[in-house]
Structure 1
Amino acid sequence: MSRLFLRSPEAVAGTIILALLVAMALAAPWLFPRDPLAIAGPAMLPPFQDWTIPLGTDRLGRDVLSGLFHGARTSLAVGLAAAATSIVVGVLVGTIAGFAGGWVDEVLMRVTDAFQTVPGFLLALAFVSVAGPSLGVVVVAIALGAWTQPARITRAEVLSIRERDYVAGARVIGMHPAEIAFREVLPNALPPVLALSSVIVAAAVLTEAALSFLGLGDPNRVTWGGMIAEGRAVLRSAPFLSIVPGIALVLTVLGVYLVGEGAVEASAVKRGNA
């Protein structure tokens, strides 16, 4: 599988981008040990004027490069945590609904429909507005709007798998229904759901940036969305304040998307060879 993955130019490019972003996130505390929200120099210092502050400073005199590195930690943490939460919840709901069937399936799918009627960003916006901005609240808010797709895909796969012979054999030998569902059926239903994870991570990163742009991100953390919003007021005189974090955001989403495409292509080739 790894060889097939590395044969894809998209996968290689995406892996390089994500590896650089992860390196930025991990290196941030060592390269920039000071608080990224602290004043580092004169306000509105242009890039490449002072090599101790290579990308200049914002309106309050904060180091843009330090914010960029620490913002990578926030974006990756929120993206991965929100994707993991939404996939776990969606897989549980989809497995129970698909395997149990009957009124259980009906109730869970109606709940899923109710969540799908509200756009994910509006749901996250409302939840953060009520609960208050913090990193944990943002993760939960994003997951609330993202778990429905994994739930529906898992349910569809489970409905197909539960009729196969090995599942009937497990029932005959007396295995508990929960054990059959989560030990025999679920592992075979996961691949299509995991292929969706890259889309969920990319959407989570963008949603977190949008919430921060609107002032609903964690106020104690540097975020790329917050940096873009900070530069909006001086867009004509200092466009670099918004352009630099904007490029980082685009590269993150692009890297996640390319890795996801590479994984899907590799799995398709592997199934074809099998």
Structure 2
Amino acid sequence: MKRPVRSLSGMVGIAILAALVLVAVFAPLISPGDPLAITARPLLPPLADWAHPLGTDRLGRDLVAGLVHGARTSLAVGLAAAVASLMIGSIIGTLAGFLGGWTDEALMRVTDAFQTVPGFLLALAFVSVAGPSLPVIVLAIALSAWTGPARVARAEVLSLRERDFVASARVIGMHPLEIAFREILPNALPPVLALSSVIVAAAILTEAALSFLGLGDPNRVTWGGMIAEGRAVLRSAPYLSIIPGIALVLAVLGVYLAGEATVERAARRVGHA
């Protein structure tokens, strides 16, 4: 009885994620021009002017433009941070699991040290020191998210390094690092990649929280910045915070549900095999 419900939730997640991707890709066509430009009178309520169906903010900037260009920022940060954290975690986990000994011990103690600090606080401190910009935000999120992939990769490598194909690679004289990254890592990647949806969703939330606190890229429209902008007029114009807040919730929900559906489908295929 649970399988149809899970399939439905997966389809909903994939639909939301597909819509988010389309909006991000076609943002310049949906809302051409600068999304930070003043286009109408300030605090225009939703549906009051069809040229600005969702209204305008305190400065007269169009909310539709902010939403579609904010989707591009959120998706770019989420994907880039996930790729960076998976790469860092996979490399460290592979080295720790394959080399073992003091290398494993040292790398796992570094991993423990990063895990003792809450991810958002680490990202907050890093951006505060390095300055708010999109590359810095991506790097800050990646530094706070690589520990999970590292531990999963290490566990997989520990189970793979004694297999026959690894022994064969040693016999033919392959370099240890070549064995680790050419023979073992590709086989250890599937469980690591299963974490990508969680990392993307967390990265979108972290970027929004940083922007809400004024640490987002000032040259980019972000949903967190839009929510913070509406905070000052929350009683008189609550839509300024509610609309980007709904978009943020839908994006995170879509990424998470789509990732769960993908993992479930992959596990089902492995079970049938």
Coarse TM-score class (shorter-chain normalised): over 0.9
Structure 2 residue aligned with 1:85: 84
Encode CA deviations 1:56-100: one digit per residue, 9 max, x unaligned.
000111101100000000000000000000000000000011001
| Aligned partners of 1:10 and 1:261 also within 8 Å | no
Q: Counterpart of 2:26 in 1: which secondary structure? A: helix
1:87-114 Cα offsets, whole Å, 9 max, x none, are: 0000000001100111111111111111
RMSD: 1.2
Segment drifting more, 32-41 vs 7-16: 7-16
Query: What is the distance in 2 between the residues matched to 1:40 and 1:158?
Result: 56
- Secondary structure of the residue aligned to 1:8 is helix
> What SS does the aligned partner of 1:61 have?
coil
2:56 matched to which residue of 1? Answer: 57
The aligned residue for residue 214 of structure 2 is 215
- The TM-score with structure 1 as length reference comes to 0.96
Q: Which runs of 4+ in 1 moved over 6 A?
A: none
Match of 1:196 in 2: 195
**In the alignment, which residue of structure 2 is the partner of 1:105?**
104
Unaligned runs of 5+ in 2: none
Quote the residue 1:244 is aligned against: 243
TM score, norm. by length of structure 2: 0.96
Q: Structure 1 residue 11: deviation in Å?
A: 2.4
CA distance in 2: counterparts of 1:197 and 1:30, whole angstroms: 29
Q: Structure 1 CA distance, aligned partners of 2:136 and 2:267?
A: 36
Aligned partner of 1:22 in structure 2 is 21
Alignment of 1:122-133 (within 5 A): 122-133=121-132
- Counterpart of 1:208, as a letter, is E
Measure, in 2, the Cα distance between the counterparts of 1:212 and 1:256: 20
In structure 2, distance between residues paired with 1:170 and 1:221: 49
Q: Is the 8 A contact 1:11 1:259 kept in 2?
A: yes
SS of residue paired to 2:55: coil
Quote the offset at 1:166 in angstroms: 1.6
Aligned sequence identity (%): 75
1:168 aligns with 2:173: no
Greater displacement, 169-178 / 151-160? 169-178
Deviation at 1:237, TM superposition (A): 1.1
> Displacement of 1:9 after TM fit?
2.3
Q: How does 1:62-81 map to 2 (within 5 A)?
A: 62-81=61-80
Which residue in the other structure is 1:152 paired with? 151
Shift, 1:34, TM fit: 1.6
Aligned AA (2:222): T
